[in-house]
Chain A
Amino acid sequence: MQAKHQPRKQNLWQAFLEKSFNITIPVVAILAAFAISGLLILGWGSNPIAAYKAIFQGAFGSPNAIATTLTRMTPLVFTGLAVAYGYKAGFFNVGAEGQLYMGALAATWVGVTFTNWPGWLLVIACFLAASLAGAFLALIPAYLKAKRGFNEVLTTLLFNYIVMQFFAWSLRIDHPMAGVDEKWGLVNWFGIKDPTQPYPKSAFVAEQSWLPSVNSFLKTGFINSIFGGTHWYQASLAEPALERITLAPLLAVLGVIIVFVLMFKTTIGFRARAVGVSPDAARAMGINVSKTILVTALISGTLAGLAGAMEILGTQHRVMERFLVDAGFTGIPVALIGQLHPVGAWLSAFFFGALRAGANRMQITTAVPVAMVYVIQALTILFAIAGTTIELVSYFKKSRMTSLSERAEEERLSLENNEVLDA
């Protein structure tokens, strides 16, 4: 009897292994990246342990460090989600960078234009504008893919460059501003530059659109009335880091939850994943593949656009050139290391955010250059991708697996036969 149950166990074991790969691959990749980078740091003449300690200190060592980590990771969460959702549905969105910039531009545009709107309305309007901008940008490649069979990797990638040029141009065109006496033409409405300044920067978005910080939350009358007298409360109010931690990281968590539900618990996600697994099979099952690609792109683009809005409303409050370096492109490794899972994307965004937050401290205290964290990042990506080939290997051994499960079937048959013979 023992032997008869083994194949089924084997199957469960295989399934478990495949699932656990989702965690072990990134973890091993990160450890391996740190190990190799450690050798590089040794070669540089520094102590890798000290360097990593400095990164850790810089990322988590103080409230301020934690605030920096959270700030750095937030846009990465959204671009990671954007790439992961698209990828799951077979739409490899390499255009998150451009969509993020367009989203930031749109949010800023709304934020510097409707300066007299109430805060809640302005925030919603900014997010909406950013979503639409990102979604629109992703929709064009999606349409070309769905209707004309264009490869979306090329089109989304190339759109980035178009957006970058437009962004740079827009930064140099004065945006109409109340109180500035000038004749505004139509072209000015496409510009974002602060007309009172000579630099290619926008004005700050209206202050009421800035995402509230923990500090401002503590200052609300309600909290004050409950905790007002406590020592803890006073200490928190005095902590400058709490002014830097805004609603944005919380919205990122909300984003993870929404994308998770969307991906796994809704018919929209079901269709998207089905198309991602096999467009042919999805079509045969009655799924409208073109429509699914379009919807996927809308969602992916929306998320990337929101990444830009989060950075503007939460952290920088205005756009300038290179206001956010590579957050869109980094969304790709964030999604891949996160195994295309929303929670995984959050975790890997957290890792990337922490690395970047700790980089400066490492350079200051151990003289290891900031660039080393990019080495660590790159190695992690490399190992994580290498890790997926482990999955491939097990895929190649599938013939073996199939024979195993077929054996299970056979065992059952022979069992049944015995029963027949016994009868």
Chain B
Amino acid sequence: MTELLRLEKICKTFPGVVANDHVDLEIKKGEIHALLGENGAGKTTLMNCVYGVYRPNSGKIFWKGQEVEIHQARDAIALGIGMVHQHFMLVPPLTVAENVILGLPTRHEPFLDLASVEEKIFESGQKFHLKVDPKARIWQLPVGIQQRVEILKALYRDAELLILDEPTAVLTPQEVEELFLVLEALTEHGLSIIFITHKLEEVMRSCNRVSVLRDGRRVDTLAIEDTNPQLLAKMMVGREVLLKADKTDLPPGEVVLSVKELSAIGGRGLPAVKNVSFEVRRNEIFGIAGVDGNGQTELGETISGLLRATGGKVTISGKDATNKTPFDILNMGVAVIPPDRQKLGLLMNFAVDENLIAKSYWKPPFSKSIFLRKKEIDKFSEKAIKDFNIRTPGPEIQVKLLSGGNQQKVVIARELSKNPDLLIASQPTRGLDVSATEYVHKQLLAAREAGAAILFISTELEEILSLSDRIGVIYEGEIMGILPGKGANILEIGEMMAGLRRSNTGSEQPKKEAENASEASA
């Protein structure tokens, strides 16, 4: 295999910080090259240097053996480098074809020639497993398909090297599988792929070689055959990672949350939660496993009062909590870690201390009649920052300036410092790196030991398995079965997640639903 791209001693500094420190990297033609590292290790910065978003302070870039200067993204695209960012650069009201040719001349300027574009998209789709309806509008498409459009955009511009920035972060496991098929097809046709990730399994699963970055430096580049997940994890974080959580045996206490035949309608006007029933007890973590988008988010929102229940009953500590306001539910001793911390969990423009009291500002000791009491707020937030190890220059720093992990710590500090009876933790580790994830797990276990009942919703099967006392598997808004966490059979859960098996009612047609699911994802 010949060399396609070579980086020599790339340095990129931002005021006060070295993001990339003499990084060497070599990409061969036709390989999938993983760029592995924790959040902030300098992976994206390095790739932005290649793509012309940043200019390196020093170092050289060679493209097919020739030294090149890349001043802006346009230069990179002209060379044949394409990049799919974590946040897609698509125009939602436009169609797939329109997005693909955006910014390019068409054959019959000034007239649009969408037909030929659509044809080309169709051809690429056939060739690379990238089936997309060229006439569909972006906003109608699920995230996984939107990502395909981004890839198609790069291919349409004759990319030879495709940089994917954490492509699987937004995908469901099924979509991840499909993405890997696409990547394989692309490399078969001679394209090279740089795959930025912090997920070990994905590296092992699909890449040819892996370069590990830590603190802006390249630790090493290895062929996949010569490595294993433990070794990579150690290189990535510089220590052994605790893959299995330490959990003490606790007998479950009385029932705190009881959900009976709950139904709710989701954002798209379709039933999202169907007839769900379960109970969560004190000292118990009840895990909801399931592929993203199967109603687990809506389930959490319905219980926390953000979404109206259309049927069924929610009881919290013996009191009816069906269709109460979020405020009422909050006052029933319920803490919520929402799935999207930036959208629902935090007031991004507010200071850290204001976010810490955002659910209790109205009661003593934080306020007296209508007046906030600065002293009490300071005292509380300083303690919370210390107790929950929030890395912030001060309590009055806007929370948007913190890293993702520390933002989540603010949410957790707020929710757990009031010793809740019930904690609804919805995707609490989404987008967090290894160490922050570990931190969240520890906090959940601590809350469990403190006597909280925990509803733990996650799409990462691994953490569900390692934390949960009992596991409910959700598929298309229905609970397919409830299993004990200890010794749970992954295969069994996997089948339930795919809608293949249900333990209670076998009479409805699960097979048909499975077909629907595959149609929906196609």
User: Do the beta carbons of B16 and A9 come within 8 Å of each other?
Assistant: yes
Q: Does B344 contact A (CB under 8 A)?
A: yes
Contacts A267-B370, A282-B347 hold; do A10 and B16 have CB atoms under 8 A apart?
A: yes
Q: Given A284-B336, A284-B344, A403-B39, list of 17 further CB < 8 A pairs?
A: A3-B18, A9-B16, A10-B15, A14-B401, A15-B394, A15-B397, A261-B371, A265-B371, A266-B367, A268-B370, A285-B330, A399-B44, A402-B40, A404-B17, A408-B391, A408-B403, A410-B215
| Ranked 5 nearest A-B pairs via Cβ | A406-B40, A286-B327, A406-B403, A6-B16, A284-B344
Closest to B367 in A: A267
Q: In the complex, A403→B13 CA distance in Å?
A: 12
User: Do the beta carbons of B16 and A398 come within 8 Å of each other?
Assistant: no
Q: Does A115 contact B (CB under 8 A)?
A: no
Mind listing 8 A-B residue pairs with CB under 8 Å? Answer: A10-B16, A14-B401, A15-B393, A15-B397, A283-B326, A285-B358, A286-B326, A406-B39
Q: Tell me the minimal C-beta distance from A142 to chain B in angstroms.
A: 20
| A residues in contact (CB < 8 Å) with B | 3, 6-12, 14-15, 18, 261, 265-268, 270, 273-274, 277-278, 280-288, 398-414, 417, 420-421
User: Do the beta carbons of B401 and A284 come within 8 Å of each other?
Assistant: no
Instruction: Encode B209-235 as 1/0 by CB contact (under 8 A) with A.
Output: 000000100000000000000000000
Contacts of A406 in B (CB 8 A): 39-40, 403-405, 433
Contacts A413-B435, A421-B239 hold; do A277 and B345 have CB atoms under 8 A apart?
A: no
Closest to A414 in B: B238
User: Do the beta carbons of B306 and A284 come within 8 Å of each other?
Assistant: yes
Which residues 361-400 of B have a CB within 8 angstroms of A? Answer: 361-362, 367, 370-372, 374, 391-394, 396-398, 400
Q: In the complex, A413→B404 CA distance in Å?
A: 15
Contacts of A411 in B (CB 8 A): 215
Q: Does B350 contact A (CB under 8 A)?
A: yes
Q: Tell me the minimal C-beta distance from A13 to chain B in angstroms.
A: 8
Q: Tell me the minimal C-beta distance from B107 to chain A in angstroms.
A: 34
Contacts of A285 in B (CB 8 A): 326, 330, 347, 358-359
In-complex Cβ contact of B350 among A274, A400, A401, A402 (8 A): A274
Q: In the complex, A18→B18 CA distance in Å?
A: 23
User: Do the beta carbons of B17 and A274 come within 8 Å of each other?
Assistant: no
Q: Tell me the minimal C-beta distance from A422 to chain B in angstroms.
A: 12
User: Do the beta carbons of B239 and A420 come within 8 Å of each other?
Assistant: yes
Q: Does B343 contact A (CB under 8 A)?
A: yes
User: Do the beta carbons of B215 and A266 come within 8 Å of each other?
Assistant: no
User: Do the beta carbons of A10 and B17 come within 8 Å of each other?
Assistant: yes
User: Do the beta carbons of A405 and B406 come within 8 Å of each other?
Assistant: yes
Q: In the complex, A12→B433 CA distance in Å?
A: 24
Which residues 131-184 of B have a CB within 8 angstroms of A? Answer: none
Closest to B330 in A: A286
Q: Tell me the minimal C-beta distance from B351 to chain A in angstroms.
A: 9
Contacts of B41 in A (CB 8 A): 410
Instruction: Determine which residue in B16, B329, B338 has the highest number of CB atoms from chain A within 10 A of its CB, and name it.
Output: B16
Pair count A-B, CB < 8 A: 145
User: Do the beta carbons of B403 and A274 come within 8 Å of each other?
Assistant: no
Contacts A267-B362, A270-B372, A412-B391 hold; do A405 and B344 have CB atoms under 8 A apart?
A: no
Q: Tell me the minimal C-beta distance from A295 to chain B in angstroms.
A: 11
User: Do the beta carbons of A274 and B391 come within 8 Å of each other?
Assistant: no
Closest to A273 in B: B350
Q: Tell me the minimal C-beta distance from B355 to chain A in angstroms.
A: 9
| B residues in contact (CB < 8 Å) with A | 14-19, 38-42, 44-45, 215, 237-239, 304, 306, 325-327, 329-331, 336, 338, 343-350, 354, 358-359, 361-362, 367, 370-372, 374, 391-394, 396-398, 400-406, 433, 435-436
User: Do the beta carbons of B215 and A414 come within 8 Å of each other?
Assistant: yes
Q: In the complex, A9→B372 CA distance in Å?
A: 29
User: Do the beta carbons of A417 and B239 come within 8 Å of each other?
Assistant: yes
Contacts of A421 in B (CB 8 A): 239
Closest to A12 in B: B393
User: Do the beta carbons of B326 and A11 come within 8 Å of each other?
Assistant: no
Contacts A410-B40, A413-B435 hold; do A278 and B348 have CB atoms under 8 A apart?
A: yes
User: Do the beta carbons of B345 and A403 come within 8 Å of each other?
Assistant: no
In-complex Cβ contact of A11 among B42, B374, B401 (8 A): B401
Contacts of A410 in B (CB 8 A): 38, 40-41, 215
Q: Tell me the minimal C-beta distance from A39 to chain B in angstroms.
A: 34
User: Do the beta carbons of B391 and A270 come within 8 Å of each other?
Assistant: no
Closest to A7 in B: B17
Contacts A10-B16, A270-B354, A273-B350 hold; do A265 and B343 have CB atoms under 8 A apart?
A: no
Contacts of B362 in A (CB 8 A): 267
User: Do the beta carbons of B370 and A403 come within 8 Å of each other?
Assistant: no
Q: Tell me the minimal C-beta distance from B353 to chain A in angstroms.
A: 12
Contacts of B349 in A (CB 8 A): 277
Contacts A14-B401, A403-B19 hold; do A280 and B372 have CB atoms under 8 A apart?
A: no
Contacts of B403 in A (CB 8 A): 402, 405-406, 408-409
User: Do the beta carbons of B345 and A284 come within 8 Å of each other?
Assistant: yes
In-complex Cβ contact of A286 among B325, B372, B393, B401 (8 A): B325
Q: In the complex, A280→B400 CA distance in Å?
A: 16
In-complex Cβ contact of A287 among B327, B338, B345, B436 (8 A): B327
Instruction: Determine which residue in A18, A265, A402 has the highest number of CB atoms from chain B within 10 A of its CB, and name it.
Output: A402
Contacts of B406 in A (CB 8 A): 405, 409
User: Do the beta carbons of B391 and A277 come within 8 Å of each other?
Assistant: no
Q: In the complex, A11→B44 CA distance in Å?
A: 20
Contacts of A420 in B (CB 8 A): 239
Q: Tell me the minimal C-beta distance from A80 to chain B in angstroms.
A: 21
Q: In the complex, A411→B401 CA distance in Å?
A: 17
Contacts A274-B358, A280-B344 hold; do A288 and B393 have CB atoms under 8 A apart?
A: no
User: Do the beta carbons of B38 and A277 come within 8 Å of each other?
Assistant: no
User: Do the beta carbons of A266 and B14 come within 8 Å of each other?
Assistant: no
Q: In the complex, A7→B15 CA distance in Å?
A: 9
Contacts of B215 in A (CB 8 A): 407, 410-411, 414
User: Do the beta carbons of B44 and A409 come within 8 Å of each other?
Assistant: no
